[in-house]
Amino acid sequence: MANRSGTAQRPNGQTQGKICQFKLVLLGESAVGKSSLVLRFVKGQFHEYQESTIGAAFLTQTICLDDTTVKFEIWDTAGQERYHSLAPMYYRGAQAAIVVYDITNQDTFGRAKTWVKELQRQASPNIVIALAGNKQDLANKRLVEYEEAQTYADENGLLFMETSAKTAMNVNDIFLAIAKKLPKNEQNTGQTGSGQGRRLTEDNPDNKTVMNCCK
Amino acid sequence: MDNNQLPTKFDLIVIGTGLIESILSAAASRIGKTVLHIDSNDYYGCNWASFNLQTLHNFTVSKLETDNSDDDCLRIGNNLFDIKNFKTTWHFSDAQSNNPEETEISVTQEDLLAHSRRFNIDLVPKIHYARGDFVQLLISSNIARYVEYRSVSRVLTYLNGQLEVVPCSRSDVFANNKVSVIEKRMLMKLLTSLEKIEERLQDENQCKKSFFEFLKDERLSPSLIHYVLYAMARCENNDSVKQGIESTKRFLHSLGRFGKTPFLFSLYGSGETAQAFCRLSAVFGAIFALNQTSLKGLKTTDEKLTHILNGDQEIFAEQFVLGAQYAPQKFMKKLEIQQFISRAVFITDRSLLPSEQEHLTLLMFPPEEGKNLITIIEMGHLTGTCPKGFYLVHLTSKQISSPHEDFQHVVQKLFNHEDKEAPAILWSCYFSLPGIDNLDVCESLPENLFLCSGPDLDLDYDASIKKAKEIFIKMYPDLEFLPRAPDPEEIIIGDDHEAENKEEDKSV
């Protein structure tokens, strides 16, 4: 559970500053490189023929921002988007989303816009959304213009970057930009997600739970 | 687009995303089986689903396309398990005409519909015992990572014409000012010595009497009998002492683990649970496809199913799991639905028993006037099932005549129009669910076809977990049922994993 790593991941072992935890969901058409972006960010790896991430409910990674440690709990679609079968529970309590498209494929950009709309309908109203035009290393085969995506992002209040999971370009940066934009208030320092509920664990002593109401 | 073509060979095909089907899907994926999981609906959960207000208001029973496909296939689907007597009503005119001077009710139908997506209204709301099999399974399988829960914060009963908080814990019992000191001692004595009492009853051969008679013989006062019989044991008057003691023990056993009562509710509604199992299944490689409206039939050879016809595709598998509503008519000839579940859902403007904090309430409304015991769950916005300022009230009971008639007395007593303190019903929804849970009567099922029953009357999912396990053991006798999934920190994605993946026979 989240509190297992707790403060231990701070690079110099110091415990000052607060830890904020956020659920981030990835969206986008199959094969645009969602899992590759996560693996680059979390493990620093890239595999040309990345198989789907079997067994990973979500992955975690932390970023240090001044005196705050931002811990991302990153959810991948597990392929459920392929036949338009992503469950509503996927968006529950998500505070951030990265909508990914492939700059060499115009259809995936169209689908990305649909995902943004879906998020605006389904997800929490304060969700921070970033648009990632992935596969920037294939810019010579580009079919989606940078300016077109930038204009769309501006109109919809989205963060936008072109990324490459292969070369690592802008991968850390896009997560960092999201981390900067997320509200780092009391509420997100809890370890139990949205603050309205709790995750169940074997020993859940009552004093550990966060039962604050959020609004 | 070619994109919508599914792969055509699997170990297991699951049709229907009800809870039991979803558990089986997850369990099979978890042990490395290739799974295709499909549903004809465009939502997860079948009769276990949750809907937003707009969708539920316009709910219609979905039908599979019935084109004339070839006769030698077994057509998928039957109508035995359809939701019946579905009726929704807006009550704004009633509320306003009866409260002419109350200008506060300025909410309109449009306001509620504008917040439609903030509602997650369960077809079948479920509450879980904190130490029940379901919660244990969530934790042991690590599915608990996907869903959040909220404790039921109070248990109420209806006694002498008013709502009362049922003391759950020892401290509650002693803090309660409705029962005398002597009663408190009697209650504690009873609750702490149930094991001994059980043994004694067996020796005295008294197991046949009803729990109600037993409590009277123990000389408990009427209010104590009421608390124990209805609220803790959730018994009807003629339920046996064995059953009563069993369920009281269950209640007590789950106390003190999470929150003040023994009960938990899943944040954003009960429909999340099936989705969580589906997600686990997907995380371990299952392919999901909802909205498969051209699901046609099953093909058999020598008493075994071989494949399904989905649109123009033939998809093969070794085993098949179907939600009962997808079972071909041929197997269901002897099945008669004798028991229905009466359901009602209300959107109200305030709590049944207002208090400083927002409560998640379980109210066991005792059987009276020839009606059955009614389970009432009231949830506010902290459960993620309705917008702030409103409450959702779910009523469930064994059907006698119709949902309307079965709940009429409760509506009169708790939502009385003339009583300004009482909550006003702004919207109501009534329906009947088929309550069959025994599919043993199904005839001549192919040996590799397994049927899953729909929702039952139980408060929780424990019986459903048991059924899922039974089917799993039949399919995969020697394999582990939902072993613990790894934590994110334990996942190693490196060369080893890559090599492993290459070895796997991926039939895409």
Instruction: Tell me the pLDDT band of B228, cut-offs 50, 70 and 90.
Output: very high
| Residue B321, pLDDT above cutoff 50 | yes
| Residue B158, pLDDT above cutoff 70 | yes
Chain A 128-167, residues with CB within 8 Å of chain B CB atoms: none
Flag the least confident range among A26-30, A202-206, B84-88, B325-329. Answer: A202-206
Instruction: Tell me the pLDDT band of B174, cut-offs 50, 70 and 90.
Output: confident
Q: Token digits for B8? A: 């055509």
Flag the least confident range among B100-109, B127-136, B284-293, B469-478. Answer: B100-109
Instruction: Tell me the pLDDT band of B378, cut-offs 50, 70 and 90.
Output: very high
What does the alpha-carbon distance between residue A41 and residue B235 come to, in Å, rounded to a whole number?
55
Task: Report the 10 Å Cβ neighbour count for B133.
Answer: 17
Which CATH architecture best describes the domain B84-122+338-435?
2-Layer Sandwich (3.30)
Residue of B nearest to A73 (CA): B488
Residues of A in contact with B489 (CB under 8 A): 4-5, 60
- Interface residue A60 vs chain B (CB under 8 A): yes
Tokens 């608390």, residue located: B227
Which fold would CATH assign to domain B9-81+269-335+442-482?
FAD/NAD(P)-binding domain (3.50.50)
Tokens 């689908």, residue located: A111
Min Cα separation A199/chain B (Å): 5
Cβ separation B290–A83 shorter than 8 A = yes
- Interface residue A85 vs chain B (CB under 8 A): yes
Taking Cα atoms as reference points, which of B162, B130, B151 lies closest to residue B366?
Answer: B162
More confident residue, A208 or B110: B110
Using CB atoms, which residue from A56, A89, A122 is nearest to B491? A56
Q: Residues with Cβ < 8 Å from A174, sequence gap 6 or more?
A: A98, A130, A132, A159, A161, A163
pLDDT at residue B335 in the model: 82
Domain ranges of chain B: 9-81+269-335+442-482, 84-122+338-435
Residues of A in contact with B383 (CB under 8 A): 196
Residues of B in contact with A52 (CB under 8 A): 285
Flag the least confident range among A182-186, B139-143, B188-192. Answer: A182-186
Min Cα separation B147/chain A (Å): 7
Among residues of chain B, what percentage have pLDDT more than 70?
A: 91
More confident residue, B403 or B79: B403
Residue of A nearest to B39 (CA): A85
Cβ separation A196–B487 shorter than 8 A = no
Strand partners, B342: B397, B432
pLDDT in tens, A36-66: 999 999 988 888 876 666 667 788 999 998 8
pLDDT at residue A211 in the model: 32
- Interface residue A1 vs chain B (CB under 8 A): yes
pLDDT in tens, B37-69: 999 999 999 999 999 999 999 998 766 665 555
Averaged over B365-379, what is the pLDDT? 94
Residues of A in contact with B149 (CB under 8 A): 197-200
Q: Residues with Cβ < 8 Å from B327, sequence gap 6 or more?
A: B76, B77, B78, B442, B451
pLDDT in tens, A121-137: 888 889 999 999 999 99
Question: Residue B316: is it exposed, middle or buried by C-beta count within 10 angstroms (0-12/13-18/19+)?
Answer: middle
What does the alpha-carbon distance between residue A192 and residue B358 come to, in Å, rounded to a whole number?
19
- Residue B297 DSSP SS3: strand
B129, B465 Cβ separation under 8 angstroms: no
Taking Cα atoms as reference points, which of A101, A80, A83, A102 lies closest to residue A91?
Answer: A80
| Residue B391, pLDDT above cutoff 60 | yes
E-assigned strands of B41-171?
50-51, 74-75, 84-90, 121-122, 128-129, 149-151, 154-159, 162-165
Averaged over B220-233, what is the pLDDT? 92
Averaged over B457-461, what is the pLDDT? 93
Cβ separation B382–A213 shorter than 8 A = yes
* Beta strands B287-289 and B154-159, pairing class: unpaired
What does the alpha-carbon distance between residue B134 and residue B263 come to, in Å, rounded to a whole number?
12
Residues of A in contact with B501 (CB under 8 A): 51, 54
Q: Residues with Cβ < 8 Å from B78, sequence gap 6 or more?
A: B325, B327, B328, B329, B332
Question: Mutual orientation of helices B19-30 and B271-283 as an angle, nearest 10°?
Answer: 20
| Residue B99, pLDDT above cutoff 90 | no
pLDDT at residue B499 in the model: 39
What does the alpha-carbon distance between residue B384 and residue A13 come to, in Å, rounded to a whole number?
37
Tokens 């975690």, residue located: A60
